[in-house]
Amino acid sequence: MTPNKRVLAFSTYLDKQQLNGSGSQQLRVFAVALAGVGLWLGFLEGAIQLTRWYLKVPKPMAPEIIWIAPLTYGLIGLIVGILFGLAIWLLQKILHRYPRLSTLLYLVIIFCVSLVGIHNAIHLVFTSATWALLLLAVGITYQSLMLISGRPGGLLKNLTKMTPWLGGMVIILAFTLWGLKQLREVSLVNSLPDRVSSKPNVILITLDTLRADHLSAYGYARPTPNLDKIASGSIQYNRAISASSWTLPSHASIMTGLFNHEHKADAMTGNRLDEGFYTLAEAFGENGYATAAFVANSFASTANLGFGQGFIHFEDLVWNAGSMLRLTSLGTILDFKLMNSELVDFYQLGRKPAEEINREFLSWLADHGEQPFFTWLNYFDPHDPYEAPAPYNSYYGDKPANGDPGSFGALGASDWGGQLPPEELQWQIDAYDASIAYLDAQLGELFSSLQQYSIDDSTIIVITSDHGEAFGEHDLYGHGNSLYLESLHVPLLIYYPAEFPSGVQVDQAVSLRDLPATLTKLANLTLVTQFPGNDLIQLVSSTKSSSEPALSELYQNPYHPESHPVSQSNLSSLTIESWHAIWSNDGNELFAINGSAGESDFADTPDGQAVVLSLVEKFKSLIEQLVDLE
C-alpha cells in the first residue's frame, strides 16, 4: 500500500471513530494509547540506561531509571493524550468536515512523541553528531508512521490493552528494587559487630560551594552564629585548600586521599570515581561502623558516580516529578534550560534543601544510633542559583533574591564571559550570603538534635566545603573554571570535644585530601591499606608548615569559553606558607596571600620568579607529574 493510500485509510478510520465514539470514550482511548507509547519508550530508555550503569560508562544513571523512565514518559504520554483527546472532542465537527486535518493532527502528535523517544534512546548510545541522530530518528519515525497508518484500529486496540500491564510492570520493578535495597541494608547492618564504646561516631559535613571568607568565624562581617559556636570548640584550619575547584574531583579526593591526577574523577577523564579506589566509607565499614550518606548535590556527588562505595545506606534521589524527569535523557536535555526558566523552581529539579538532609539523617539515626556510625552529610544550599527560602532571602538588601532568572540567569551569563554591573553583583553576593544564613540556621537545628541524642561529645564532626565561589575576582564568576584562591579556600573545622575541649586555630596551609588519613587515625581505625596524606591533628602542636604544599588540580575542559583558564590547558596550583602559585601551558602565576585572595601577580617580578623557582625545585618530583596530567 502506497503512503497516500495508507493516510487515506487512516483518515477513514479516524472519521468513523469520531462518529461512533462518545467524547469520553475517545478521550480514554487517546490517553491510554499515548500513555502506552510513553511506557514503551521509557522501558527502551531504561534498558539502555541500566546497561550503561552496569558497564559503568561515564555519567551512568541510577538503577532506579529502569522504572523511573517508563513512569515519567508514561505520565507525559497520558497528559498529552488527555489534552489531544479534548482537542479532538472539541473540534469534532470541523475534523469531520476535513478528515485530512484530523489525520494530520494524529500524525503530528505520534511523530513528536516518537521523535523525542527515538532520538533520546539513540543519543544515549551515541553522544555526538546530534544532527545525524536527529535525521536517523526522523527516518525511523517515518517508517513507524507508515506501519501505524496501515493498521490503525489494531494498533490502538493493542496499546489500550497493553498499557495497564505495562503500568503494572513499572510498579513491580519499583517495589522489587526497593525491596532488594532494603534487604541488602538489613543484611549488612545485622552483620556488624556489637557496639564498642571506645569508637567515636564520625559525621563528615560538606557544604557545597562555601568559600571560607563568607563565614564570620573566618572574619566575614555577616554573622553565621551556629557555625561560630561549633568553631569556638573546634580545630579551625584557617588556610584549608580544596583539591580542585568543582565538586566531583574535590569530593573524590576527600573520600580517597588521592589527588586529581591519581583518581582522575573529572569531567574529561571518565566523570566518575572508579570503584578500584579505597574510600573512607569502606575503611569505617571494615571497622564495624554503620555507614550512611545523605547527599543534596544530585549532579556530581551521587552513588552512581562512584561515591556509594562502602556506604550501607545512600540517599541522593529526590522523589518528585521534576527530579524524576531530570533523570531521563529528555530531562537532561531540558535541564539547564528549565533551571533558567521562570516557570520551573530549581528545587523541583532534584535539589534538596538543608532541612530535608537533616530530616533524612535524623530519621536514619533513630534506627541506627546503637551502632558506631560514619555518615556523610552533603548540603547544596550555597550553590547557584542562590535560592534561600523566606525569610532568609530578604536578610540582605531591599530586593529579595529568590533564585529566579534575574539571579541565576545573570550569573550564568557572566560565567560565560559577560560582566555584571556592581548592583547586580551585590545582589548575587546578598543572595549567596542569604543561602549561607539559611544553611547556618539548619546546621544549628542539626547540632541541637545531636545533643538530644546525647552523642555530640562522643562524635567527631568535620565541617568543610568542596570548593569556593568567584564573584568577579580575576573577571570570573562561579567555580570550576580556574584555580584562583577564591575557588579553593574553604572552611575546615574538626570538632571532637572528647579530645579537644577548647578551640584551636591552625594557620598553616592544608589540603582536604588529608582528611582520610586524619580521620582514620583520629578514630583509631585498623586499616589494611593506609590512606596517603598527612595527619592534620599533628599541626595543632606545631608551628611548622605541613610536610607538603596544598596541591590543587583541574583538567582542561574545552567546553568552557576561551576566557576561562580551564579551557586552555590543564591547571595545577600549590599553596604553601604565604604563597599561591598556578601552573598552566600559558605560564606561571604567583600570588602573595595577605589574609585574602592574592591581590597581585608576582610571577613576573624578580622576587616572584625566585619564589617560583624555589617551589619548582623543592617539589620538582611533584611538579613533573603535573606538567601533563595523563
Q: What is the pLDDT of residues 267-316, one digit of tens each?
A: 776 678 988 999 999 999 999 999 999 999 988 898 988 999 999 999 99
Cα–Cα distances in angstroms (integers) from residue 170 to residues 70, 174, 342, 517, in the given order = 7, 6, 32, 44
73-86: average pLDDT: 84
> Which residue type sits at 366?
A
Element (H, E) at 460: strand 459-464
318-345: average pLDDT: 67
- 562555601: which residue's cell? 210
211-243 pLDDT tens trace: 999 999 999 999 999 999 999 999 999 999 999
Ramachandran category for residue 587: left, alpha or beta (phi over 0 → left; psi -120 to 50 → alpha): left
- Please tell me the predicted confidence (pLDDT) of residue 609: 67
Residue 577 lies in a domain: no
Domain match, 96 and 25 both: yes
Determine whether 191 is exposed, middle or buried from the number of CB atoms within 10 Å of its CB (0-12, 13-18, 19+): exposed
For 601, which DSSP code? Answer: B
Domain match, 231 and 327 both: yes
Domain match, 206 and 354 both: yes
- Please tell me the predicted confidence (pLDDT) of residue 401: 59
Lowest mean pLDDT among 164-168, 336-340, 391-395, 421-425: 336-340
106-139 pLDDT tens trace: 666 666 666 666 666 665 655 555 555 566 666 6
- Please tell me the predicted confidence (pLDDT) of residue 98: 64
> Which residue type sits at 79?
I
Determine whether 386 is exposed, middle or buried from the number of CB atoms within 10 Å of its CB (0-12, 13-18, 19+): buried
Domain match, 269 and 412 both: yes
3-state secondary structure of 591: strand
- Please tell me the predicted confidence (pLDDT) of residue 49: 78
3-state secondary structure of 317: coil
Residue 239 lies in a domain: yes
Specify the higher pLDDT residue, 560 or 323.
560
371 close to 192: Cβ distance less than 8 angstroms:
yes
Mean pLDDT across the chain: 80
Instruction: Please tell me the pTM assigned to this model.
Output: 0.85
- Please tell me the predicted confidence (pLDDT) of residue 228: 97
The CA angle 143-75-54, to the nearest 5 degrees, is: 75
Domain match, 92 and 237 both: no
Lowest mean pLDDT among 252-261, 347-356, 514-523: 347-356
What is d(CA 529, CA 537) in angstroms, rounded to the nearest whole number? Answer: 20
461 close to 398: Cβ distance less than 8 angstroms:
no
Domain match, 270 and 385 both: yes
- Please tell me the predicted confidence (pLDDT) of residue 191: 81
What is d(CA 362, CA 458) in angstroms, rounded to the nearest whole number? Answer: 17
Question: Which ranges of 1-125 would DSSP assign to H, the alpha helix?
Answer: 3-20, 23-55, 65-90, 92-97, 99-125
**How confident is residue 192, by pLDDT bands cut at 50, 70 and 90?**
confident
What is d(CA 78, CA 51) in angstroms, rounded to the nearest whole number? Answer: 27
Residue 379 lies in a domain: yes
Residue 14 lies in a domain: yes
3-state secondary structure of 334: helix
- Residue 74 makes CB contacts below 8 A (sequence gap 6+) with 35, 36, 38, 39, 42, 163, 166, 167, 170
Assigned C-alpha cell, 343: 516557570
What is d(CA 75, CA 67) in angstroms, rounded to the nearest whole number? Answer: 12
**How confident is residue 408, by pLDDT bands cut at 50, 70 and 90?**
very low
Q: Is the pLDDT of residue 628 over 60?
A: no
Containing domain of residue 292, as a range? 198-544
The domain boundary residue, chosen from 544, 578, 611: 544
6-21 pLDDT tens trace: 555 555 555 555 444 5
Lowest mean pLDDT among 36-40, 230-234, 525-529: 36-40
What ranges make up the beta strands (E) of 403-560?
459-464, 470-471, 477-478, 489-490, 492-495, 504-511, 550-554
Dihedrals phi, psi of 8, to nearest 5 degrees? -65, -40
- Determine the angle formed by the axes of helices 152-190 and 130-150, rounding to 10 degrees: 120
Domain match, 272 and 134 both: no
**How confident is residue 446, by pLDDT bands cut at 50, 70 and 90?**
very high
Q: Strand 290-295 and strand 313-315: pairing?
A: parallel
What is d(CA 195, CA 370) in angstroms, rounded to the nearest whole number? Answer: 7
Cross-strand pairs, 375: 203, 292
Domain match, 129 and 239 both: no
3-state secondary structure of 371: coil
Q: Strand 550-554 and strand 571-576: pairing?
A: antiparallel
- 591581590: which residue's cell? 599
Assigned C-alpha cell, 614: 624555589
For 60, which DSSP code? Answer: P
Residue 491 lies in a domain: yes
Residue 573 lies in a domain: no
Cross-strand pairs, 50: none
- Please tell me the predicted confidence (pLDDT) of residue 466: 97
Q: Kindly state the percentage of the chain with pLDDT values over 90.
A: 34
When divided into structural domains, the chain yields a total of 2
Q: Strand 459-464 and strand 492-495: pairing?
A: antiparallel
433 close to 214: Cβ distance less than 8 angstroms:
yes
The domain boundary residue, chosen from 515, 544, 573: 544
281 close to 311: Cβ distance less than 8 angstroms:
yes
Closest residue by Cα to residue 125 from 42, 49, 63, 37: 49
563-589 pLDDT tens trace: 889 988 999 898 887 788 888 887 788
Domain match, 158 and 291 both: no
Domain match, 220 and 110 both: no
Q: Kindly state the percentage of the chain with pLDDT values over 70.
A: 69
451-462: average pLDDT: 84
The CA angle 417-422-426, to the nearest 5 degrees, is: 100
Domain match, 257 and 164 both: no
Q: Is the pLDDT of residue 473 over 70?
A: yes
Element (H, E) at 333: helix 329-339
Lowest mean pLDDT among 229-243, 333-347, 363-377, 379-393: 333-347
Specify the higher pLDDT residue, 113 or 519.
519
3-state secondary structure of 197: coil
What is d(CA 560, CA 566) in angstroms, rounded to the nearest whole number? Answer: 7
- Please tell me the predicted confidence (pLDDT) of residue 52: 73
Specify the higher pLDDT residue, 216 or 61.
216
- Please tell me the predicted confidence (pLDDT) of residue 392: 92
Residue 609 lies in a domain: no
- Please tell me the predicted confidence (pLDDT) of residue 10: 52
356-374 pLDDT tens trace: 999 999 999 998 867 899 9
Residue 242 lies in a domain: yes
- Please tell me the predicted confidence (pLDDT) of residue 150: 55
- Please tell me the predicted confidence (pLDDT) of residue 414: 46
Closest residue by Cα to residue 485 from 295, 238, 308: 238
Specify the higher pLDDT residue, 586 or 507.
507
Dihedrals phi, psi of 26, to nearest 5 degrees? -60, -40
CATH number at residue 269: 3.40.720.10
- Please tell me the predicted confidence (pLDDT) of residue 281: 96
Write the DSSP string, 535-565.
Answer: -GGGGGG--SPPSS-EEEEE---TTS-TTSG
The domain boundary residue, chosen from 504, 519, 544: 544
Domain match, 170 and 121 both: yes
Write the DSSP string, 134-193.
Answer: HHHHHHHHHHHHHHHHHSHHHHHHHHHHHHHHHHHHHHHHHHHHHHHHHHHHHHHHHTSP
- Please tell me the predicted confidence (pLDDT) of residue 421: 82
- Please tell me the predicted confidence (pLDDT) of residue 116: 67
